Every structure is written in C-alpha cells, then in structure tokens.
Structure 1
Amino acid sequence: MTENGRSTLFSLVPAGLFGPLASPNREHYWQLLGRLFDEFFGPDAPMPPSHGFPRREITAAIERYLLTDDPWEDEEGVTPGASLNLRANAIYERFRAAGWLRQDRIGAREMATMVPLVRQFLSTLIDFAEHGPTYVAAKVRSIESQLQFVVDGKAGGDALDEAADQARRLLASLSSMSLTVRDLMPELSRAETTAQFARQWFERYVGEFFIGDYADLHRGDHPLARRSSILSMAQQIESTGLRARLLAWYREHGGGSDEARAEQRLARGLRRVRELERIDEYLGRLDDDIRQANRRALAFLDYRLRAPDKLDVLLRRACRGVRHAPPDTLRLPVAPAALMDESRLRPPRQKPQPIPRSANAVQPPTPEQLARLALLRRMKRARLVTPEDMARYLGRHLDAAESVESEGLEIESIADLRAYQTLLTLALRSHRIGGLRRDDPLNRLLRGVRVELLDAGQSPDDRCHDNGWLRAPRFRVRRVAAARHA
C-alpha cells in the first residue's frame, strides 16, 4: 500500500505481464490474448475445468490463430521461419513466463489456466478497448435505483459504494469527452478528400465519441433531470437514522470493527454521490466544445466544397504551360498604348458636402420632472435583484449557518421583499417536472447555494407560511458542499 492507501498496480499483477504487449508483435499478442479469453477463459466461454485445460488445447488454438495471422516480426523466442508447432509453443512459453498463463502438472499431464486476477485485468483491458458512446440516462437511472434501495432499507453499504463508483465514472467520462472532441478535430482535418473527411466525421465523431443520448439531455423527462432526487436521498442518508445503519454495515463487512474506517468509507461514498452537483459544469463545457467542433467542421466542409479541386495540380500545369508556350501566345489581350497612364486612372471620389441642419430646440426639464424621473429610477432599482443584492441578503442569514428556512428570512425593505420573492420562485421552479433548467436566468443569481421546497407532499394550506407580507410555501436555502470547501 502507498502513503495514500492505494495499492500499486505492480504489487497485484505479475512483474512481466506487459512484456508481450510492449514488443514489436504487440498487436498480434493482443489479438491472440483476446481470442484465448473468448474461447477458454472469458464469460462467454464454456465453464472451464477446475484444474485447467490441457496444454495441447491452448497451443492448438494458438496454431489456428497463426494460420490466419502470419507472418510475425522477428523477435527473440518467436522465429517466423520455424514450424507452426514450434512457434505456437514458443508463444505459449512467452505467455507463461509473462504471467498471462499458469501451468500446473497433474500426474503426467500439463494443465494451463489463467489466474482470476489476471483474468479480471484482461477483462478490464478488453472493456476499455471496446468502449463506446456514453449513455448518461442509464447511468443516472442506475445510481438512483441503488440509492433508493439503500433508503428503503433493502440494501446496505454495497449499494451505496456501487452508486458512488458509477457517479465517479460518469463524471470522469464527461470530463474526458471534451478533451476527446478537441483532439479529434486536428486528426480529421488531415483527411485528403472531402468525402473522406465527411465519412470520418460521421463515423468516428458521431458514432464513437459522442454521448449516445446527447440529443435528449435537455429534455424535461430525461433521468438527468432527477439528479435533485439523488442529492436529496444522499442528504437523507447523511441526516437520518440510515447513517447509523450504514455505519454498522461497514463495521461488520469492513473487518476488525474499525469505527474510523467505517466513517471514512461512508463519507467517501456520500461525497462521490454529491459530486453530481457539478455535472452541469461538465455538460456546459462539453456543449461549448461540441459547438466549436461543429463550427470547425462546417467551415472545413465549406472550404473544401468552394475551393477548386486539385488547385496545386492546376497551378503546376499552368506554370509548365507558360514555360513551354511560344512568345506570341503570352501577349496580354490589351489595346496598344501605355497600361499605366494618368488619363486611365479613376478620378478621385468627391465627398458631398453635408447638408446644414438646424438643431432642435432643447427644453430643459422642470424640477418636478427631474424629481419624478429620479423617483422612477429608484423604484426600478429597488425592485431589481442582482447577484450582489442576493449575496448581501443571504450573507446576513447564512453568515455562520449551513442552511436557513423561509421563516428565518427577515424582510425589512422592498429589496429584501424582492430577494425573498426570487428565492420563492427558484424553490417552486426546482420542484416542477424536469427541475431547474440550466439556462434559467434566475439560476445565475445564486452562487454556492441551493433552494429546496419543503413539505412538497402536503396540501397547499398546510405547507404555506405567512410572514406578514406574503403567504407562500415554505422553503430552505442551504450551502452547496463545493462552496463550503472553497
């Protein structure tokens, strides 16, 4: 274990495991490992015997692969000119020495198998190589389902850990998606023909690197709109008796009944789930990168379609024709006389004289009009809520508290009343189907806080609060975790 408690990779896998994959024949070795995994050791293969497969079965499978993929490059231990059986046995020994295969002797037979740790590592590598578009809806549904099992008491810390890992993988996938889009454009721009660029654009950009349900992300019925429910369940786990039950589960299954380790695992799971609050930042950056990529692709296609085809070939052909043409054919098709002469120049453009205009008579405003105008400006300013006004209003109530309910919000002026109305509007909009949209203009007024509607399941008469100015539903304003750490 390292200082941060994370196991190193090379303490888990054999030391020479990457040897075949770092050799000149790495592509052949990778294809061969994939075929052996699919045929003998993978989840799609038949149930392997507990004592392994006879060595001859493994080498026969390698021979079949060599018949379809040959020749290999010269390498120590693998001679392309040798017989098929010798080459298959040499490759088998290379895999066994590297740790991909393990050989045991049972009686007079040599049995080969793949240890579970190496099998799991190879499965992870294959999944990484075959990774396709990300489907955000399925991941969000799975996270919500796992947390719902925990809240309902049907699952323990294992479901919470699974939801936390899925949330972390989802954010990591969205974070790397922007870099993938930016790196893809220079590669596509090197296409030799317009048809090749268009084919790669739609096959690779849309088919491989795009989010599978990107077109549905902004719909109100998309599961991503229910992330507020996921965050509410995480808050419920943190602040109710579910916390004690999960701590007991972690102590029981963590080994040693270590209270500190159980607290650490529970805090880590909840922290990773609450990181879904930042998903709007990742999606906003991804939207910007995709819009920029679309503009570059359209500009490139427009240039390719407008520019003459094979322009460099036409220029070389014209230069070669000029060098070998007779002198008479190179004469310019112009009339005799000087090409540049004062009489051939265009006369200067005369700027017309401006039309004299008489100024309108200016009537100065009366003191009463000035006073009315100043009063109107003060009225509009008192009713206008800016991010600075909202920050000052909430700062008076959240100075030392993590959250404050609507009953604790004071109203001492018109500005306070307008700030209270804005918070109430945000609470009502966040409770509607689809939640608060990312492009909502009121969302830009709040930084680092979240507004939640309280008693949403009660009747309107029971959940209303009268503060002397408004009779409205109750709500709570709380700080966001990211803002507290900052």
Structure 2
Amino acid sequence: MESTSTPPLFTVLPDGLFGPLASPNRHHHWHLLCRLFEEFFGPDAPMPPSIGLQRREITSAIERYLLTDDPWEDEDGVTPDTPLAMRAANLYDRFRDAGWLRQERIGAREMVSMTPVVSQFIATLVEFTERGPTFLSAKIRSIELQLLQVVEGKAGGDMLDEAALQARQLLSNVAAISVQVRDLMPELSRAESTASFARQLFERYVGKLFVGDYADLHKDDHPLARRTSILTMAREIEHSSLRGSMIQWYSERTTGGDSVRAEQRLLRNLRRLQEIDRIDEYLQRLDDDIRQANRRALAFLDYRLRTPDRLDKLLRRACRGVLSAPGEALRLPVAPGHLLEERRLRPPVRRPQPIPRTANSTAPPTPEQIARLNLLRQMKRVRLVLPEDLVRYLDRHWDSSVRLDSQSLRVDSIEDFRAYQTLVTLALRSHRAGGLRRDDPLHRMLCGFRIELVDGERIRNDHLHSPRFVLHRTRKAA
C-alpha cells in the first residue's frame, strides 16, 4: 500500500518524463534539452509568444544541434545514417510524447511550448548541476531578515515558509558536503600521477566542495552567531500573539479554513527553524571530515613526492639481493633497545578550546557612506530616461509648429544627452520594415509624437555624431 506521506511526484510531472534521460543516448538527450531550454524557453531566452513557437522552428534547432553532436547510439531503429530531418523529427516526437514539450494546433499551425511545471523542473535540474560552494553567511542573513519581517508584522506566513525552507536546505547542504568529501578522497587517490592528483584536488575538492566562507566559520563576527537571534524570534512567534495571526493567515490562504491543518503547518515551520540549533553538530562533523581529508591528501602528496621513480624495479632488485645474500648479512639494521616504548610515541594532540560566539552589533552607516549612496542613486537616475523625461525635454523645443528637426535640439546636460540618445535609437528602430513594433520596449516612449529618420543625412553636435531625424507632433502630451 502506498504511503500517504510520499510526495505525489507523477501527479505533477508527466509519467514518461524521465524516459529520454534513461536511454542509451541520455547524455545527448540532456544536452539537447538544455540547449532548447536555453534558446527558447528559459529565463535568458526571448519572451515566446503566448500561443507558443512553430514546430518547424523547434525541429530546425534540433537539426542544428545534431550537426555538431554526433555520433549517437542506435536506438529505436534510428541510426546516424538516418536523414537529418527524420532524426530531428523523431527526437521532437520523443520529447513531446515524454512530456518535455507540448504541441497544440492553432488554426492550421502546430505550435509548441513547454509547460510551467516542466520548465521549473528543468531549471531546478540545471541549477543542481551548476551549484557551487555553499555560502552559509548569506543563507543565515536571509533567514534572519525574513523572520524579522514576520516579527515586525510586515510579512505573513509566506515569508515564514521561505525562512523555514531555507533553514532546512542549509542543514541539508552542510550534511551533503561531508558525504561528498568522504566519497571524493578515495577517488582522488586513484590518480595516475602526482600532477593529476594535485589538479583534481584543487579543482574539485577545494573549488567545488568547500563552504565558500569556510575560513570565517570560527570567527567571532561570523553570521552563524546570529543563530541565537533566529531561535529567539522563532520562540516569539510560537508563544506570542503572532501565533494566532499566523494560524489565521494559513487558514485563510493555504488550508481552506481548516485551523487544525493551519496550526500543523505553523508548527512544522517553527520546528524547521529550531533545527538551526543543531548547526554546530553538522559543522563539527564537517570539520572532522575536512581535517581527515587534508591529512590524507598531504600524506598522499608527500608519498608521491618522496617515492623514487621506478619503485617496482628497485623492489625487485632488493628482493633478488636478499635471496642471494648470505645469512649473516641479513641482520635487522636497528639500534639496541625496545622498538616500541612510551618515550618514542608521539604525544597526543591537544585541541584548542572553541571560541565562544556572541551576537554581532550592527553598526549604522556613516554620513560619508550615506552621501556616497545618495550620489550613486542620483547618478543612476540622471542616466535613466522615462517617458515623462522625454516629454519634458521636447517641451523645451516645441513651438507652434508640429514639426521639429533634430538639428534644433540642444544638449545642455547629462539628462539632455541621454534623452537625445533615446531619440536617436527610436529613429533607427522606426526605420525598420514595419516601423516601430508595439511589443518593442521603446514604443512607450512615443508620447504625443512620432519620429521619422532622414535617409542618408547625418548631423554632428558637440557631443554626438548621429543620423538626422524629424519629430512630428500627433497630439499634445499630458
């Protein structure tokens, strides 16, 4: 009987989603999915139309990928000798049948998209493969600031959920690093050469597994000292009037009015936050694993550097010499006395006492820091051009006529220079076939006028050499 506590994965994801990733060509399939996600459906891709992309556009992209990603293993009767268009169509059909892509018919066209659930899933997988060292400082600060918002009444249960989730992920990451360190050292020990071992040690062990701010973990001012503040705020939420408001928030927004389930969810989040108190246990185990890994790495390097070349030949030569030597020459070359006694043993290592941690005192910014921040904000605002900024700039130049030539535009300040640059960009984009499209981000700058580029003519002012353009008033801007 299936446990009711098991998360229902395949009620969220399609049943056959993992099929392409479990086939003989799984590496090629994963590379192809990442390329499609990056080019068409990911956060860095251009915004796709709401109805999706045409099927031919996706299959053409798959064909381009196949040209640089051969050979594939034979699978389902498809070989590398199969025509490229047929292979691309077969791959597209496989991704569509597995649930990675969704196809809809709109009119006479077949449109392709990726569902939000699948898009979020592949983004999570990509993030997992690219995850580097963990920075405990940033996670602790984030948890503390989110709880502070809840305690001050500026946030609700959603912020408490996020803080509890980050607390659970923090402990899981530290525990996972210990396992990775223990698993990696035997693998590094099988390196073929000293140079290969040293390169893998620093590239994989130091560069990817270490906590990013591991060197600061045992300092007084490390953010882990804020653990006490986090636990205090969690207890305040549990034993103050905030408890009732949080239960009401969960009841209204997540549990459909069920106060019992709302209280269980609140207690679950508070329990996750209180597990922060165990961070010392995880860090102590991580210290032990890293210390042992360091000793093994140093011993291995020392052995490799001290061991002479062709050691196997030297051992065989020594064995032949021992077999052919007379008996009196095989005495053990040691000094008189006991080989093992207490005076010859290494004294035990005494570990220093841990430094007691105290909470940090927050220093307010100095007047110079505040002044620099205000100056930076003013600099950014001066260089930002909004529609109302463009209207104010043009209002200084409009007269009774409805036509304004770019030669009459003056540039007296940084704001004027940025406004003039924006007008030049508008003129160049409006010169394309079809004019300035409505989905262009600069289209909202056309407030009360339209712009026309004068072909072949350029003008020069004291600041910029640009094409000549003409503005036509369409209505009076508000």
- Residue in 2 that maps onto 1:76: 76
CA distance in 1, matches of 2:18, 2:186: 31
Secondary structure of the structure 2 residue equivalent to 1:208 = helix
Aligned to 1:276: 276
Q: 1:19 to 1:431 in 2, by over 3 A?
A: closer
Give the TM-score, by structure 1 length.
0.66
Alpha-carbon distance between aligned partners in 2 of 1:67 and 1:345, rounded to the nearest angstrom: 69
Q: Secondary structure at the match of 1:103?
A: strand
In structure 2, distance between residues paired with 1:155 and 1:2: 37
Given the superposition, is the C-alpha separation of residues 310 and 288 from structure 1 closer, same or farther in structure 2, using an over 3 Å criterion?
same
CA pair 188-430 structure 1, distance change in 2 beyond 3 A: closer
- Residue 301 of structure 1 corresponds to 301
Tell me the amino acid that sits aligned with residue 263 of structure 1.
E
How many Å separate the matches in 1 of 2:267 and 2:324?
86
* Residue 236 in structure 1 maps to residue 239 in structure 2: no
Relative to structure 1, the CA distance from residue 85 to residue 299 in structure 2 (aligned partners, 3 Å threshold; closer, same or farther) is: same
Q: Quote the offset at 1:255 in angstroms.
A: 3.8
Letter in 1 for 2:269: G
Answer yes or no: is the 8 Å Cα contact 1:135–1:213 preserved in 2: yes
SS across alignment from 1:133: coil
> Contact between 2:221 and 2:359, CA under 8 Å: does it hold in 1?
no
For 1:356-401, what per-residue CA distance to the aligned partner results, in whole angstroms no more than 9, with x for missing partners? xxxxxxxxxxxxxxxxxxxxxxxxxxxxxxxxxxxxxxxxxxxxxx
**Match for residue 178 of structure 1?**
178
Question: Are positions 1:192 and 2:192 aligned together?
Answer: yes
- Going from structure 1 to structure 2, the CA distance change for 1:311 and 1:150 (only over 3 Å counts) comes to same
| Residue of structure 2 equivalent to 1:404 | none
Question: Which of structures 1 and 2 has the bigger CA Rg?
Answer: 1
Query: Would the aligned equivalents of 1:149 and 1:155 in 2 still touch at CA under 8 Å?
Result: yes
| Cα distance in 2 for residues equivalent to 1:4 and 1:146 | 31
Please list, as runs of the form range in 1=range in 2, the aligned pairs for 1:425-440 lying within 5 A after superposition.
Answer: 433=360
Residues 23 and 432 (structure 1 numbering): CA distance in 2 closer, same or farther, change over 3 Å?
closer
Alpha-carbon separation, structure 2, partners of 1:306 and 1:274: 50
Deviation at 1:17, TM superposition (A): 0.8
| Matched ranges for 1:322-401 at <5 A | 340=328
Correspondence for 2:219: 219
Q: Secondary structure at the match of 2:100?
A: coil
Q: Distance in 2 between matches of 1:313 and 1:31?
A: 47
Shift of 1:4: 4.1
In structure 1, the residue corresponding to 2:27 is in which secondary structure? helix
Deviation, 1:313, is 5.0
TM-fit CA distance, 1:224:
0.9
Q: Is the 8 A contact 2:19 2:98 kept in 1?
A: yes
Equivalence for 1:468: none
1:25 counterpart residue number? 25
How far the C-alpha of 1:11 sits from its partner, in A, is 2.1
> Scaled by the length of structure 2, what TM-score is found?
0.67
Distance, in Å, in 2 between the alignment partners of 1:196 and 1:248 is 60
Distance 2:29 2:210 in 1: 30
Q: How does 1:24-173 map to 2 (within 5 A)?
A: 24-76=24-76, 78-173=78-173
How far, CA to CA, are the matches of 2:214 and 2:328 in structure 1?
62
Q: Which consecutive residues of structure 1, in runs of 5 or more, have no partner in the other structure?
A: 323-329, 333-337, 351-428, 435-486
- Deviations 1:262-313 (CA, angstroms, capped at 9, x unpaired): 1011101111000000000000000001100011111111111111123225
Structure 1 Cα separation of the partners of residues 134 and 357 of structure 2: 27
What's the CA shift string for 1:440-460, capped at 9, x where partnerless? xxxxxxxxxxxxxxxxxxxxx
> Alpha-carbon deviation of 1:432?
5.8
SS in 1 for 2:76: coil
Distance 1:73 1:339, change over 3 A: closer
Deviations 1:104-145 (A, max 9, x none): 111111111111111111111111111111110010011001
DSSP 3-state at the match of 1:110: strand
User: Displacement, 1:7?
Assistant: 2.9
- Residue equivalent to 1:420: none
State the SS of the aligned residue for 1:233: helix
* Structure 2: gaps of 5 or more residues: 338-355, 362-478
- Contact kept in structure 2, 1:77 and 1:90, CA below 8 Å: no
CA distance in 2, matches of 1:103, 1:340: 89
Count residues in correspondence. 340
Contact 1:41 1:114 in 2 (8 A): yes
Measure, in 1, the Cα distance between the counterparts of 2:360 and 2:305: 45
Match of 2:206 in 1: 206
Change (3 A) 1:77 1:225: farther
- 1:93 & 1:191 partners in 2: Cα distance? 43
Aligned to 2:372: none
What is the identity, as a one-letter code, of the residue corresponding to 1:312?
A: D
Distance (Å, rounded) in 2 between the aligned partners of 1:90 and 1:432: 61
CA, structure 1 residues 433+125, in 2 after alignment: closer, same or farther (shift >3 Å)? Answer: closer
Distance across 1 between alignment mates of 2:182 and 2:358:
36
Amino acid at match of 2:109: R
Q: Cα deviation per residue 1:23-82 (whole Å; 9 max; x = unaligned)?
A: 110000000000000011111111111111000110111111111111111111532111
Secondary structure of residue in 1 paired with 2:247: helix
Letter in 2 for 1:41: F
Question: Per the alignment, in what secondary structure is the counterpart of residue 111 of structure 1?
Answer: strand
- Percent of residue pairs identical: 65
Q: Which residue of 2 aligns with 1:382?
A: none
8 Å CA contact retained: 1:168, 1:272:
yes
What amino acid maps onto 1:249 in structure 2?
A: W
Distance in 2 (alpha carbons) for counterparts of 1:161 and 1:150: 11
CA contact (8 A) 1:2 1:8 kept: no
One-letter amino acid matched to 1:49? P
Contact 2:225 2:357 in 1 (8 A): no
Alpha-carbon separation, structure 1, partners of 2:219 and 2:324: 68
Preserved contact between residue 164 and residue 270 of structure 2 (Cα < 8 Å): yes
Mapped to 2, the partners of 1:264 and 1:40 lie a distance apart of: 41
Give me the CA root mean square deviation.
2.9
Q: Is the 8 A contact 1:132 1:209 kept in 2?
A: yes
